[in-house]
Structure 1
Amino acid sequence: MNREQISALAHTGHPIKAPLDDDAVRSLLEHGVPHGDARVLDLGCGTAEWLLRALRAYPSLRAEGVDISEDSLGQAREAATRADVGGRLALHQRRAADFRSPHPFDLVLSVGAAHAFGGLLPTLAAAREHLAPGGRVLIGEGFWEHEPSPEAVEMLGDFTDLADTVDRVVADGWTPVHGHVSTRRERDDYEWACWGSLAAWALDHPADPDSAQVLRTANDRRSEWLRTYRDTWGFVTLILRPTSG
């Protein structure tokens, strides 16, 4: 089973691929969507869960998502059809960094996809290219809540603390107008959901040739979380507006 398939299984019970509960997602969209008939873009949308929720909440909203995964976009199309919002959702299979649009967007999202651009600031630079005047960016980023171990840095990346993360964003020409720091409960719920979903699938499919691999992955990832980064890693989601221009 490849990495993409494992990720899809892991997120069966937590379709938002970030440590955010439903209330947090709803609040972030309320603060991020500037008006009901907004045009919204998600760079690295995966199964487009953020866009689907926005489309259901705002009947006049139009949305576009970009991702390289054919499987994820196929799931997004099926979910949009079931929710009767497919007519307002356009999906593009390509690298998010290569996407170009003839029109700007009132809200640009990128949550958990900074690797596609090479980090936080390059992601913001890409989002800025698509932003309409008065528009907003909704972006999620990890940070170190406490001093990490070398193993945690190697595993998750070279983040800074929360204050420095926000300072970097401000220095890059953005003003935070709202934000959400994921709680310990949100982070724990996310990890339990991911590795629990994997483990449950493996136990439910003992005869599948991938069962042992999936169960081993679930056990390894759960152990890494508990032993390596649970007490040090945090996650912040920011809603930003350009400071000028």
Structure 2
Amino acid sequence: MNREQISRLAHADHPIAAPLDDESVRRLLERGLPQGDSRVLDLGCGGGEWLLRALGAYPKLRAEGVDVAEGALARARESAAARGVGDRLVLHGEDAAEFTSPHAFDLVMSVGATHAFGGLLPTLAAAREHLAPGGRVLVGDGFWAQKPSPEAVEMLGELTDLPAMMDRVTADGWTPVYGHISTRQELDDYEWAWTGSLASWALDNPDDPDHCTALTTAHTHRVEWLRVYRDVFGFVTMILRPTSE
């Protein structure tokens, strides 16, 4: 069972692959898309849920997504067709960090995918390359809500606290115009959904050769969440504009 398969099963009941509830997603898209006829790009789109919700809410919107996970892109295409928005969605199976496009975008998104670029600032640098004049970036990343243990740092990487993150973003030439800090309920709901969906699949498929791997992965993740990072990890989703065009 590879990482893409685990992610697909773990996000079955939480298709927004980040700790955000439906209302938070709706509000962020509303703030990020002041005009309904915009062109949107999602770098590291996975199953494309952000794009699908944007397309469903804005009938004149056109969207593109980039991801290396072909299985996730296939599911995105199927979902787009089922929701009647497939004619306005283009998906690219390639490395988001290497993606180029002949046109610019009014909104560039990358939520929970900064690892694909090597961190938050490289993600913003990549987004800037695709941004139209007056455009916005919607980006989501983790931060330390409290001082982490060495084990948490080893597990989740060299994050900063939220004020330091804002300092880095503004020093890099961006101005935050809106943001959402995931609530405790959003963070917990996401983790319960991740571990629960994967464990449920394993229990429902006892004869599958991946049964034990899925069950063990869900158990390990749940223990790490509860014992290592639950009380110190936070997640923020920001809408940014270039400080100068």
TM-score, normalised via structure 1 length: 0.99
Cα deviation 1:97-134 (Å, max 9, x = unaligned): 11111110000000111111110000000000000000
Check whether the contact 1:138–1:238 (CA below 8 A) recurs between aligned residues.
yes
- Tell me how far 1:229 sits from its aligned partner: 0.1
Query: In the aligned structure 1, how far is the partner of 2:124 from the partner of 2:6?
Result: 28
- 3-state SS of the aligned residue for 1:240? strand
Q: Deviations over 1:130-187 (max 9, x none)?
A: 0000000000010000000000000011100011111110010000000000000000
1:141 maps to 141
Question: How many residues are matched?
Answer: 245
For 1:202 and 1:68, the matched residues in 2 are separated by: 26
- Name the counterpart of 1:6: 6
Match of 1:130 in 2: 130
Matched, 1:173 2:173: yes
The alignment partner of 1:64 has SS state of strand
- Alignment match, 2:68: 68
Residues 233-244 of structure 1 mapped to structure 2, 5 A cutoff: 233-244=233-244
Which segments of 5 or more consecutive residues in structure 1 lack a partner in the other structure?
none
The residue type paired with residue 117 of structure 2 is F
Segments of structure 2 that go 5 or more residues without pairing to the other structure are none
CA distance in 2, matches of 1:37, 1:162: 33
1:34 CA displacement? 2.7
TM-superposition CA deviations, 1:50-70 (whole Å, max 9, x none): 000000000000000000011
Give deviations 1:191-237, integer Å, cap 9, x for gaps: 00000001111111111111011101100000000000000000000
1:74 maps to amino acid:
A
Give the distance between the partners of 1:173 and 1:212, measured in 2 at CA: 48
Q: Is the 8 A contact 1:34 1:135 kept in 2?
A: no
For residues 157-168 of structure 1, what are the structure 2 equivalents within 5 Å? 157-168=157-168
**Whole-Å separation in 2 of the counterparts to 1:244 and 1:207:** 58
Letter aligned with residue 242 of structure 1: P
Which residue in 1 is equivalent to 2:53? 53
Q: Aligned equivalents of 1:196 and 1:69: distance in 2?
A: 23
- Opposite residue 31 of structure 1, the aligned amino acid is R
The offset of 1:11, in angstroms, is 0.2
The match for 1:221 is 221
Identity rate, percent:
71
List, as ranges, runs of 4+ consecutive aligned residues in structure 1 with deviation greater than 4 Å: none
Question: Counterpart amino acid of 2:196?
Answer: G
DSSP-derived class of the 2:186 partner:
helix
2-structure distance, mates of 1:180, 1:167: 17
Distance (Å, rounded) in 1 between the aligned partners of 2:209 and 2:69:
24
How far has the Cα of 1:83 moved from its partner? 0.4
* AA of the residue aligned to 1:15: P
Residue aligning to 2:77? 77
State the distance in 2 between where 1:119 and 1:2 align.
Answer: 23
Structure 1 residue 12 displacement after superposition: 0.3
Q: For the residues of structure 1 that align with 2:240 and 2:2, how far apart are their CA atoms?
A: 35
Q: Which amino acid aligns with 1:128?
A: R
User: Alignment partner of 1:153: what SS?
Assistant: helix
**Aligned letter for 1:82?**
A
> Over aligned residue pairs, what C-alpha RMSD do you find?
0.5
1:114 lines up with 2:129 in the alignment? no
